[in-house]
Copies of this chain bind each other. A is one copy, B any other.
């Protein structure tokens, strides 16, 4: 299989750097092909702007969606964007690895999403009708591929637990896992999270590495988070409210996760 690892940490001699090297080596050892987009090392342009099109419309207002769509459809995207899109199309699985900074991904990786996820590529695709609201949330350009987050956090695991003060890790990652990965079609595996990342001794690092190794070994068989498909009948169209008989009386992020399919 083919794996794209998109990685964001400024220091190669960090826990993240060590985990990345381990992941690449484990995946290759398992016979997979691996491409790494090391955003800091690439000097990735983090900021979406009119310069992302090679043919900016000089006199017109810059429209982040429409200008990206035009550049995408006419082959006039900056080469760095087109190259990452090609990697996404090539890959069978995507891993996003990053330290949790302010409960989200680092700016440089957010900018990777914003620029690579062009309109016409990752959103704004598919028809709208009475039963179908575009190809998204389980359908789209990247359907059929798998994705997983590898995240380090300074806080304790209990701080990210269901009643922990930071909020449950799955809820904090919802804008990424549901809104960014499931949205263009990825099947999203449970995240691999490392807590107290600043206090890592050799014994714990060995444990973390072993656990990550198991997660990488089982990437093709692990059951994805069963986010509900938008166009599968669970949502009213066009309000996109969850049908009243599903998770009745409940609200919040958890209602968008349905029943787990039978274990594989």
Contacts and interface: CB of A to CB of B under 8 A. Distances in A.
A194 B17 CA distance: 40
B63 A256 contact: no
Interface string A207-223: 00000000000000000
Given A103-B175, A110-B107, A114-B101, A165 B252 contact: no
B102 A114 contact: yes
Instruction: Give the contact-size bracket for chain A.
Output: 35 or more
A180 interface: yes
Contacts of A164: 239-242
Most B Cβ at <10 Å: residue of A40, A107, A168, A241: A107
Contacts of A101: 48, 64, 114
Interface in A239-253: 239-242, 251-253
A180 B61 contact: no
Given A46-B111, A114-B106, A252-B171, A165 B137 contact: yes
A25 interface: no
A14 B62 CA distance: 8
* Number of chain copies forming the complex: 2
Contact of A106 (B48, B159, B180, B238): B48
Interface of A: 10-11, 13-14, 40, 46-50, 61-65, 99, 101-108, 110-111, 113-114, 117, 137, 154, 156, 158-159, 161-168, 171-172, 174-175, 178-180, 198, 230, 235, 238-242, 251-256
21 contacts: A11-B62, A11-B64, A46-B108, A64-B99, A101-B114, A102-B114, A103-B175, A107-B110, A108-B111, A110-B110, A156-B240, A163-B242, A164-B239, A164-B242, A165-B242, A165-B256, A167-B175, A167-B179, A168-B253, A171-B171, A175-B175
